[in-house]
Amino acid sequence: MLDTRSLGMKEGQLYETIISTRNEDGTPNAAPMGIIIKMPCEVVLYLYQGSLTAKNIMRDGIFTVNILNNPLIFTQCTLSCPPQDSFDQNHEIYYLKSTDAYFTAEVTKKRKIVRKDDLGESELTIMQAKVTDVIKLTECVYPLNRAIYGIIELLVNLTRMDMATSEAKKIYLDRLEEVSWIVNRVGGKEDKEALKEIRDKFDQYR
C-alpha cells in the first residue's frame, strides 16, 4: 500500500498543498493549506475557524490533499475557488485535474486551541487524519516545502555579498533572519544544516 513516503514526503515536515473538499451543495472547493506529516499514514492539519474548507471538513470528516507545484493553480485557489471543470472525482471525493498526486485523509482526532502570534489571537482546530487512497498521476512528484526555496534565495544573496552596497548587504542580512525563521519552522534536518553553514558564511560580512 502506498503512503506519503511514496510521494517524497518526510515525517515531521510541513508541506504546502491544496486541500479539496465537498461543499454542502455537493460542489467542489479548493484552498491552499499546509499539512504536517506526523507518520507515513497520518497527517496533521491546522484549520482557522470560519473558512469554507474548515466547515466542510468539520461536517464530513474527510478531505483530499493535492500535491502539485504549479504557481498559477496555487494563485487561483488562493484568490477564489477554481471553476468546477478544474476538478475530477474519485467516487465521493474531488481532486484537481492538474495535480501530480493526491491522497484522501479521514479525520481521527480533533481539538481546539487558541494561538497568539504576530497576527493576534485566533482560534484553531487541530485535525489528525489517517491517510488513505494515495494516487500518483505523474511519475515525478515534488511536494512543496518552503525551506528549500528559502535556502536557494539565501545562497543567491550570499553570492552577491562581495559586490553589494552597504545598503544591499543590510537587506540581505535582514532577509537571512526572515528565512531562518521559516527554515527552522518547516524545514528538515538537511535544511537546518544548510542554514547553519550559510549563517556562518554571512557572519563574515557583519
- Which residues are bridge partners to 54 per DSSP? none
CA pseudo-torsion sign 52, 54, 55, 60: positive
- Which H or E element spans position 36? strand 28-39
- Are 145 and 177 a contacting pair, CB within 8 Å? no
Rounded distance between C-alpha atoms, residue 79 and residue 125, angstroms:
23
Residue 134 has pLDDT above 90, yes or no: yes
Residue 45: per-residue pLDDT:
95
- Are 82 and 76 a contacting pair, CB within 8 Å? yes
Residue 113: per-residue pLDDT:
87
Residue 115: per-residue pLDDT:
79
3-state secondary structure of 136: strand
**Grid coordinates given for 9:** 514526503
Residue length of the chain: 206
Residue 55: per-residue pLDDT:
94
**What angle do the packed helices 189-202 and 166-186 form, to 10 degrees?**
160
Q: Write out pLDDT tens, residues 53-84.
A: 999 999 999 999 999 999 999 999 999 888 88
Residue 129 CA, chain-centre distance (Å), reads: 16
Residue 152 has pLDDT above 80, yes or no: yes
Residue 146 has pLDDT above 70, yes or no: yes
Do 146-205 and 4-136 have the same topology in CATH? no
What is the chain's mean pLDDT, rounded?
93
Provide the residue ranges of all domains of the chain, joining segments of one domain with +. Answer: 4-136, 146-205
- Write the CATH number of the domain with boundaries 146-205: 1.20.58
pLDDT bin (cut points 50, 70, 90) of residue 1 is low
Residue 119: per-residue pLDDT:
64
Q: Write out pLDDT tens, residues 22-45.
A: 999 999 999 999 999 999 999 999
pLDDT bin (cut points 50, 70, 90) of residue 205 is confident
- Write the CATH number of the domain with boundaries 4-136: 2.30.110.10
Residue in 16, 11, 13 with CA at minimum distance from that of residue 183? 13
Q: pTM for this one?
A: 0.90
